[in-house]
Chain A
Amino acid sequence: MILQAQQIRKEFIRESRGTNCFQAVQETNLTLSGGTLTILMGRSGSGKSTLLNMLAGLLEPTSGKILLDGTDLYGLPDKELSRLRNQKIGVIPQGQTALHSLNVLENILLPCTLYGETVENSAVMELLERLEIAGLQTAMPSELSGGELRRMAIARALIRKPDILLADEPTSDLDDVNTAVVFNILKQFASEGKSVFVVTHENDAGKYADRLFHMDGGILRTGDESGNC
Chain B
Amino acid sequence: MKLKKTIAFRNLAGKPVRTMALILLTALLSLILLGGTLMVSSLRKGLHSLEDRLGADIMVVPYEATTKSELKNIVLQGNTGYFYMDKSRAEKVLSRDGIGQASEQFFLASTSSGCCSIPVQIIGFEPETDFTISPWIRKSYSKDLQDLDIVVGNDLNAFVGDTLTFYGLDCHVASKLDKTGTSFDTAVFTNENTIKMLIQSSLDKNMNDFANISPDGVVSCILINTAEGFTTEEVVNDINIHVKKVKAIQTKEMISGISDSLSGVSDIITILMVAVWVLGLIILLLAFTMSVNERKKEFAVLRVIGASRQKLAGIVMQEALLTGFVGSLVGVVVSLLVIVPFNTLIEEQMNLPFLLPEVGNIAGYAVITVLVSVVSCAVAVTFSAFRISRIDTSLILRGE
Contacts and interface: CB of A to CB of B under 8 A. Distances in A.
Given A78-B310, A95-B397, A99-B298, A106 B3 contact: yes
Given A97-B297, A101-B13, A113 B3 contact: yes
A114 B305 contact: yes
Indicate the member of A78, A99, A110, A113 with the most B CB atoms within 10 Å. Answer: A99
Given A58-B394, A97-B297, A102 B305 contact: no
A94 interface: yes
B394 A82 contact: no
Contacts of B392: 59
Given A82-B311, A94-B398, A100-B14, A111 B298 contact: no
B237 interface: no
B307 A82 contact: yes
Contacts of A109: 1, 3
B14 A95 contact: no
A36 interface: no
A50 B120 CA distance: 86
Given A79-B310, A83-B306, A111-B306, A93 B15 contact: no
A95 B393 CA distance: 13
B99 interface: no
A28 interface: no
Interface string A97-133: 1111110001001110111101000000000000000
A46 interface: no
Contacts, number: 100
For chain A, give the interface size range.
35 or more
B306 A85 contact: yes
B304 A110 contact: no
Interface in B275-309: 297-298, 300-309
Nearest to B393: A58
A114 B301 CA distance: 12
A49 B394 CA distance: 8
B257 interface: no
B301 A82 contact: no
B10 interface: yes
Given A78-B309, A114-B305, A97 B397 contact: yes
A82 B306 contact: yes
B2 A116 contact: yes
A23 interface: no
A56 B304 contact: yes
Contact of A99 (B2, B5, B301, B309): B301
B4 interface: yes
Contacts of A82: 303, 306-309, 311
Contacts of B310: 78-79
Interface in A47-81: 49-50, 53, 56, 58-59, 78-79
Contacts of B1: 106, 109, 113, 118
Contacts of A7: none
Contact of A87 (B3, B4, B15, B306): B306
Nearest to B309: A78
Contacts of A102: 3, 10, 14
A79 B369 CA distance: 35
B183 to A, nearest CB: 57
A95 B399 CA distance: 9
A168 interface: yes
Q: Identify whether the interface residues of B are mostly helix, strand, loop, or mixed.
A: helix
A151 interface: no
Contact of A106 (B10, B305, B398): B10
Nearest to B300: A93
A95 to B, nearest CB: 7
Nearest to B13: A101
B112 interface: no
B214 interface: no
Nearest to B298: A99
A77 to B, nearest CB: 9
Given A99-B298, A100-B298, A109-B3, A50 B306 contact: no
B394 A79 contact: no
Contact of A97 (B7, B10, B301, B311): B301
A83 B397 contact: no
A24 to B, nearest CB: 10
A156 interface: yes
B73 interface: no
Indicate the member of B5, B298, B393, B394 with the most A CB atoms within 10 Å. Answer: B394
Given A85-B306, A91-B305, A106-B10, A113 B4 contact: yes
Contacts of B13: 101
A201 B300 CA distance: 23
A113 B11 CA distance: 15
Contacts of A106: 1, 3, 10
Contact of B15 (A79, A101, A156): A101
B302 A114 contact: yes
Interface of A: 49-50, 53, 56, 58-59, 78-79, 82-83, 85-87, 91, 93-95, 97-102, 106, 109-111, 113-116, 118, 156-157, 168
Given A49-B398, A58-B393, A99-B302, 19 more contacts: A49-B394, A50-B394, A53-B397, A59-B392, A78-B309, A82-B308, A83-B308, A85-B305, A87-B306, A91-B304, A98-B301, A99-B298, A101-B11, A109-B1, A109-B3, A110-B7, A111-B305, A114-B307, A168-B397
A-B pairs, 5 with minimum CB distance: A101-B14, A86-B306, A113-B3, A82-B308, A53-B394
18 contacts: A49-B394, A50-B394, A53-B394, A58-B304, A59-B392, A83-B308, A86-B305, A95-B297, A99-B14, A99-B298, A100-B14, A106-B1, A109-B3, A113-B3, A114-B3, A114-B306, A114-B311, A156-B305
